[in-house]
Structure 1
Amino acid sequence: MHDDTYPAFGGLMQRHLDWLTASGVPMTAIIQPERIRLCHGFRAPDGRFEIDANGPVWFAFIEREDYVFWRPGTSVLATWNARSFALGENMICNASTYALDGQLHVFQHPLDWLRWNRDGIVIVNWNLTFDRLRDCPRIEIAESLLPTYRKHMQPARMPELVLSEYGKAAA
């Protein structure tokens, strides 16, 4: 993922570190599993991130197949190539997430996710919720997200059903 087709990132400045730690984010969440990076730009209408050196500051997170950008102080998220479903996607299929009656934590806001040391996910693309979460044994979600979760926790489409002529009783 690290070639010329991807954005160049900067490191967090002291003021960003100060803001994160003052907001209750532990240092481990700032640097692990990958350190938070910095980028300037805007969220395009399609939800993708557009680099602009004169744009506001965004924090950048590396996901398996994408980058997810979060504008600090807001709930606004964007992706680089629209492949990411959530911040923290690796937690979805990690066996330790569900061990000892554990559950996948779904956070409404990236700051809450960071405060919990990235132990869970923040959904970026709700349209993929059913496909990505249907096999999770247990999910913990904020009550404020429940209507959105229920709306999207169903298949986007079902196959057309045609009754077979085969196996009918002989007349």
Structure 2
Amino acid sequence: MLTYPNAPACGGLMQRHLRWLVTSGVPMSAIIDPEPIRLCHGFKADDGRFEPDPSGPDWFVLIEREDYVFWRPGTSELATWNAKSFALGESLIDNVSTYALDGHLQIFPHALDWLRRNRDGIVIVNWNFAFDRLRDCPRIEIAESLLPTYRKHMQPARMPALRLLREHGKAAA
């Protein structure tokens, strides 16, 4: 299992968690691969980061390339450990096989939907990075419920100030 500096100790899933995932339609391959889903207790802080607390509710831990993403199934909340993850499954964004044979990057609204589809796609954790991370994707398939959010965030955060340059010999209009 990948570990990150000062990351909380995460345990394995209990039988009741496994049973809930399987009865919710999640294949066992999505539970264990590429990294097994882990379990932690705590709360989501105001900055979107996870705060470990042994008396807190259950959170499932999904390991991404540069971060831990914490998912609270009861509320669908997502939190990160070090705020580096843009999405669950983000390695698929730059993977050419995602788009092979007219394939599309699928964007799911909830982690459970993503797990049911065997982690084949992404769940956006931080929409503030959507434009920069997704603008070069050739094809995207998105859940209809996410379309307004997608359209809102799929534009640059800021554009440069624009001023017209007077061309020599031309009058300003």
TM-score by length of 2: 0.93
1:124 and 2:125 matched: yes
**Displacement after TM superposition at 1:65 (Å):** 1.2
Q: For 1:119 and 1:20, how far apart are their aligned partners in 2?
A: 17
Worse-superposed segment, 113-122 or 66-75: 66-75
User: Which residue of 1 is the match for residue 47 of structure 2?
Assistant: 46
User: Which residue of 2 is the match for residue 63 of structure 1?
Assistant: 64
Q: For 1:169 and 1:87, how far apart are their aligned partners in 2?
A: 53
User: Which residue of 2 is the match for residue 136 of structure 1?
Assistant: 137
Deviations 1:32-67 (A, max 9, x none): 111101100000111110000000000001111111
Instruction: Work out whether residues 76 and 110 of structure 2, in 8 Å CA contact, stay in contact via their aligned partners in 1.
Output: yes
**Displacement after TM superposition at 1:81 (Å):** 1.1
User: Which residue of 1 is the match for residue 14 of structure 2?
Assistant: 13
Aligned in 2, Cα 1:4/1:135: closer, same or farther, shift over 3 Å? closer
Aligned amino acid, residue 169 of structure 1: H
Aligned in 2, Cα 1:45/1:102: closer, same or farther, shift over 3 Å? same
Aligned amino acid, residue 64 of structure 2: E
Alignment RMSD: 1.3
Aligned amino acid, residue 73 of structure 2: P
Q: For 1:161 and 1:21, how far apart are their aligned partners in 2?
A: 55
**Displacement after TM superposition at 1:7 (Å):** 1.3
User: Which residue of 2 is the match for residue 169 of structure 1?
Assistant: 168
**Displacement after TM superposition at 1:142 (Å):** 0.9
**Displacement after TM superposition at 1:4 (Å):** 4.7
Q: For 1:117 and 1:73, how far apart are their aligned partners in 2?
A: 20
Q: For 1:3 and 1:144, how far apart are their aligned partners in 2?
A: 33
**Displacement after TM superposition at 1:162 (Å):** 2.9
Moved >6 Å (runs of 4+) = none
Aligned amino acid, residue 151 of structure 1: K
Q: For 2:102 and 2:70, how far apart are their aligned partners in 1?
A: 31
**Displacement after TM superposition at 1:114 (Å):** 0.1
Aligned amino acid, residue 104 of structure 1: L
Runs (5+) with no aligned partner, structure 2:
none
Q: For 2:117 and 2:110, how far apart are their aligned partners in 1?
A: 11
Residue correspondence of structure 1 range 17-36 to structure 2 within 5 A: 17-36=18-37
Aligned in 2, Cα 1:3/1:141: closer, same or farther, shift over 3 Å? closer
**Displacement after TM superposition at 1:8 (Å):** 1.0
TM-score by length of 1: 0.94
**Displacement after TM superposition at 1:140 (Å):** 0.5
User: Which residue of 2 is the match for residue 110 of structure 1?
Assistant: 111
Deviations 1:117-148 (A, max 9, x none): 00000001011110010000000011111001
Aligned in 2, Cα 1:35/1:169: closer, same or farther, shift over 3 Å? same
Query: How many residues are treated as equivalent by the alignment?
Result: 169
